[in-house]
Every structure is written in C-alpha cells, then in structure tokens.
C-alpha cells in the first residue's frame, strides 16, 4: 500500500479502493467513507480494505490519530450496502461478509492509536457500529442515529457497545422500534462526546485530533490499552485494573521513555513538549 505525495504537506494513501479516501497531514490520518451515492453505505470493498489501511497507518510512527468520516455531508454511513449480500452466482455471501465485517470492527477497536468518528447526517446500522468502534465521536447538530435491523428482518445481537453507550432502555427502544433518533435525544448519553453546529464540526474535530497528536504516543497507547481492558472486563473476580500485566508493562514503558523525560523538561522550561514516541 504505497503512499503518494498529494501536496507538500499532505500524503495520500492508496487504500486499494476508491471507496476509501485516505490522507495524512500533521500526524492526523483522515479516512473518508467515499460512497456518497449510497449515503456511504459500507460496501464489501470498504470492509475488506479498512483493516489493511489501519495496518498501514499503524506502521507509520508519524500518524498519531485517525479520523473517520463520510463523504458528502449527508451521512456518516447509512448501514451496510445490502446489494453486496449476494455474489455473482446469486449464492448468499452473508456468512463471508459477516466474518469480514467483524474483522473490520475488531481492527478499528484494537487499533493502537486514538480514533475519532466525525458524524454528519445519517448514522445507520453498521454506521452506528463503526462509530461505536471508534474511541471518540463528534456529531453535527441534526445528525440522526438508527438501527433498523428489526425492520429488515436481521438479528442484531452484538449489543454490548450500544448498551454501554446509551444504556439498556434506550438501546431496547432503538432496536425494538427501529426508529431514527435525533442526536439531541442522545447528547447526554455516551454515544457522542460533543454535538456542534455542522459548520463548526470539521474545525472542532481537527482541534481535538491536533491536541491528541501533540501528546506523548506511549502515554496515549497506555491509556487506550487500559480503557480497552476495562471495557472488556466483567466486575466479578477481575482484580484491580492496575494489576493487569499488560497495563503494568505499558506504564513502565512510559516511565522509561524519552518522551517522559522530555515532558518533564518542557514543564520546567515552560514550553510545549516535542514528543517523538520513543
């Protein structure tokens, strides 16, 4: 997946499909879901390509944060492209697609750096799942969220992230009624971090991404690991999160890093730190 220089400051990454537009600028990678004719519905091409894109970005130490957004301003992602549910012979491709789709979501959830979903317009079905797989979600006023699986005869059972974000009662209403929820109804839930006017969304997301990109990569990775482990735990018999060996190793790596020393120097010298990820 070789990169090609788009401008003197921006790098365009070949995603292997024109339905993903990927670029990197100042430590911020932007992944655009580029299927506006179908309101950015998640096609098989997108689902297959996104894990490879994330692997490529993970191999670039200059990339500090990834922003996922939809093209065109009408939708983040309007679900899964159901026209991809049958192959050229007419045989069902659902089982294969579900495997690829689960791998895509896992790739986003387990990506080692911060991820932000920039939501404008409709966020439906698989779009909601993709947004929930990201660490942070910023939405424009007027955005809507829906999971119409019941209206389509689909079984939606991977409810844990949804329940964690909006609570069991709201999740039940969303799934049982299949209706669309305005973002204002969900603004106080964990579904979105901030709701801002549409004309300010890009600026707000960029400011958040830039703030993340300026911080120490090892410290961010340790925090993301801790959040991930905590989210996957049950309350019974797990012990303190700090006792987890992976957490201890991540914290020790921070203390031993050049970035830790640089952070202390910058604090004492009253200047912005210059982190390198080492």
Residues 6 or more apart in contact with residue 212 via CB below 8 angstroms: 64, 65, 114, 220
Q: How confident is the model at residue 235 (pLDDT cuts 50, 70, 90)?
A: very low
144 and 175 part of one domain:
yes
Tell me the pLDDT tens digit for each residue of 143-165.
999 999 888 777 887 888 999 99
Could you tell me the residue range of the domain that residue 223 belongs to? Answer: 216-269
Whether residue 107 is found in the same domain as residue 49: yes
pLDDT of residue 267: 67
What pLDDT is stored for residue 243 in this prediction? 57
Same domain for 54 and 141, yes or no, is yes
Q: What is the pLDDT of residue 1?
A: 53
Identify the pLDDT of residue 197. Answer: 97
Per-residue model confidence (pLDDT) at position 231: 74
238 pLDDT more than 70: no
CA 266/CA 262 separation, integer angstroms: 6
- Spatial separation of the C-alpha atoms in residues 55 and 158, rounded to whole Å: 24
CA dist 77 → 50, 53, 210, 219, 227 (Å):
14, 18, 24, 31, 26
Task: Indicate whether 225 and 118 sit together in one domain.
Answer: no
Q: Which of 193, 213, 233 is the last residue of a domain?
A: 213
- Whether residue 202 sits in one domain with residue 150: yes
Q: Is the pLDDT of residue 79 over 50?
A: yes
- CATH number, domain at 33? 3.90.226.10
- Better pLDDT: 189 or 139: 139
- Per DSSP, 36 falls in state G
pLDDT(89) > 70: no
Query: Looking at the 3D structure of the chain, how many domains does it have?
Result: 2
Determine, yes or no, domain membership for 199.
Answer: yes
H-type alpha helices, 80-187? 94-109, 126-133, 149-152, 160-166, 168-177, 183-186
Confidence of residue 233 (pLDDT cuts 50, 70, 90): low
The confidence score (pLDDT) of residue 152 equals 77
Largest CA distance in the chain: 67
In this predicted structure, the answer to whether residue 192 has a pLDDT above a threshold of 90 is yes
pLDDT at residue 87, rounded to an integer: 54
Q: Is 136 inside a domain boundary?
A: yes
Q: Are 40 and 111 in the same domain?
A: yes
Q: Are residues 93 and 185 in the same domain?
A: yes
Determine phi and psi for 96, rounding to 5 degrees: -65, -45
Question: pTM of the entire structure?
Answer: 0.84
d(CA 229, CA 247): 9
Structure confidence at residue 75 (pLDDT): 97
Is position 69 within any domain? Answer: yes
Query: Does 264 have pLDDT greater than 90?
Result: no
Pair (158, 106) in one structural domain: yes
pLDDT, mean over the chain:
86
Give percent above pLDDT 90 in the chain: 62
Q: What was the pLDDT predicted at 92?
A: 54
pLDDT digit string, tens, across residues 166-190: 999 999 999 999 999 999 999 888 8
Per-residue pLDDT at 7 exceeds 60: no
pLDDT at 38 over 80: yes
């Amino acid at each position: 997946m070789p990169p090609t220089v788009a401008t003197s400051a921006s790098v365009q990454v070949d995603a292997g499909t024109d339905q993903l537009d990927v670029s990197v600028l100042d430590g911020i990678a932007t992944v655009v879901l580029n299927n506006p004719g179908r309101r950015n519905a998640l096609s098989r091409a997108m689902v297959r390509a996104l894990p490879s894109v994330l692997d490529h970005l993970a191999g670039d130490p200059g990339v500090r944060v990834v922003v996922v957004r939809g093209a065109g301003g009408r939708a983040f992602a309007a679900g899964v492209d159901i026209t991809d549910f049958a192959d050229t012979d007419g045989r069902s491709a659902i089982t294969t697609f579900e495997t690829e789709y689960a791998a895509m979501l896992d790739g986003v959830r387990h990506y080692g750096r911060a991820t932000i979903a920039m939501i404008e317009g409709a966020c439906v079905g698989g779009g909601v799942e993709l947004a929930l797989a990201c660490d942070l979600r910023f939405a424009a006023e007027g955005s809507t969220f829906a999971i119409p699986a019941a209206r389509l005869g689909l079984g939606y059972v991977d409810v844990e992230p949804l329940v964690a974000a909006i609570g069991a009662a709201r999740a039940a209403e969303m799934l049982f009624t299949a209706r669309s929820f305005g973002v204002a109804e969900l603004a106080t839930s964990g579904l979105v971090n901030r709701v801002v006017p549409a004309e300010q969304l890009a600026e707000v997301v960029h400011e958040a991404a830039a703030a993340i990109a300026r911080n120490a990569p090892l410290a961010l990775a340790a925090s993301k690991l801790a959040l991930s482990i905590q989210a996957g735990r049950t309350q019974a018999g797990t012990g303190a999160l700090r006792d987890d060996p992976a957490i201890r190793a991540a914290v020790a790596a921070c203390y031993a890093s050049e970035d830790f020393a640089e952070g202390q120097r910058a604090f004492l010298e009253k200047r912005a730190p210059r982190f390198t990820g080492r």
